[in-house]
A and B are shown apart, each in its own frame.
Chain A
Amino acid sequence: MTPTPLHRLAEAQRAGLQERLEAAPNPVEEVARKVQTQARLSVNMKPSILRAVLKGERHLNMFEYAEREARETGRGVDEILRDRLGDWYTRRIAFEVEMGGGRNFHYHCLNVGGLGAQRFGRLCVIDRRDPSDRPPEPVWIAWDSLGHEEFWDGADGLDQRALAEWVAPCDEPGALAALKLAETPAGTGPLPERICNNEDFIEGLCLEGLSHSEVGEIRSDEKFSDDHLQERALRIALYGASMDEKLDLMAAQETRALAKDLGIRWNVVQS
Chain B
Amino acid sequence: MIELIASAPDGWAIVRDHKGLWILRPPYGLEDRDPQTDLQVARALAHEDFVFRHLEFEGWGSLCRQLQEERIEHASAEELRDAEEVPSKILSEATAEQVESHLEAIEEALRAGHFGGARDVLLTLMKADSVRASKDLYDRILGMLEEAIQERRRDTADAGEPDHAWKISNTPQLNRQAEVVRANEGFMNTTSAA
Closest Cβ neighbor of A251 among chain B residues: B10
Per DSSP, chain A at the interface is helix
Within 8 A of B (CB), among A48-68: 48-49, 60-62, 65-66
B39–A88 touching, CB < 8 Å: yes
The segment from B88-96, B157-165, B170-178 that touches chain A is B88-96
- The B contact surface, by secondary structure, is helix
> Closest CB of chain B to A86's CB: distance in Å?
5
Determine if B42 and A227 form an interchain contact, defined as CB atoms under 8 angstroms apart.
Answer: no
Establish whether residues B45 and A85, one from each chain, have CB atoms under 8 Å apart when the complex forms.
yes
CB–CB A48/B9 < 8 A: yes
Q: Is A97 an interface residue (CB 8 A)?
A: no
Judge whether A245 is part of the interface by a CB distance below 8 angstroms. yes
- A55 to chain B minimum Cβ distance, whole angstroms, is 14
Within 8 A of B (CB), among A212-242: 226-227, 229-230, 232-234, 236-240, 242
Interface: B7 (CB within 8 A): no
A46 to B45, CA, bound (A): 13
Q: Is B38 an interface residue (CB 8 A)?
A: yes
Per the bound structure, the CA–CA distance linking A245 and B87 in Å amounts to 11
Given contacts A233-B91, A237-B117, A238-B105, contact A247 B42 (CB under 8 A): no
Chain A: minimal CB distance from B170 (Å): 16
Q: How would residues 58 to 73 of chain B score, 1 for a CB under 8 Å from any chain A CB and 0 otherwise?
A: 0000000000100110
Contact B12 A237 (CB under 8 A): no
* A70 CB–B CB distance under 8 Å: no
Are the C-beta atoms of B48 and A49 separated by less than 8 Å?
yes
Closest B residue to A48 using CB positions:
B10
- Which residue of chain B has the shortest Cβ distance to A236 in the bound complex? B87
By a CB distance below 8 angstroms, the chain A residues around B28 are 244
Give the shortest distance, in Å, between B110 (CB) and chain A (any CB): 10
Please indicate the chain B residues that have their CB under 8 angstroms from the CB of A49 in the complex.
48-49
Which of B52, B71, B88, B91 is in CB contact (< 8 Å) with A244? Answer: B71
Which B-chain residue is minimally distant from A147 (CB atoms)?
Answer: B39
Q: Are B83 and A246 in contact (CB under 8 A)?
A: yes
Give the CA-CA distance A62 to B47 in the complex, in Å.
Answer: 5
CB proximity to A under 8 Å, residues B1-58: 8-12, 23, 25-28, 34, 36, 38-40, 42-50, 52
Q: Which A residues have a C-beta under 8 Å from some C-beta of B?
A: 46-49, 60-62, 65-66, 81, 83-88, 92, 107, 119-120, 122, 144, 146-147, 226-227, 229-230, 232-234, 236-240, 242-251, 253
4 A-B pairs with the lowest CB-CB distances in the bound complex, closest first: A48-B10, A233-B90, A62-B46, A246-B83
Since A48-B8, A238-B121 are in contact, a sample of 11 more A-B pairs with Cβ atoms closer than 8 Å, ordered by chain A residue number, is A46-B8, A65-B49, A83-B52, A84-B45, A86-B45, A87-B42, A119-B34, A122-B25, A238-B105, A238-B109, A253-B89
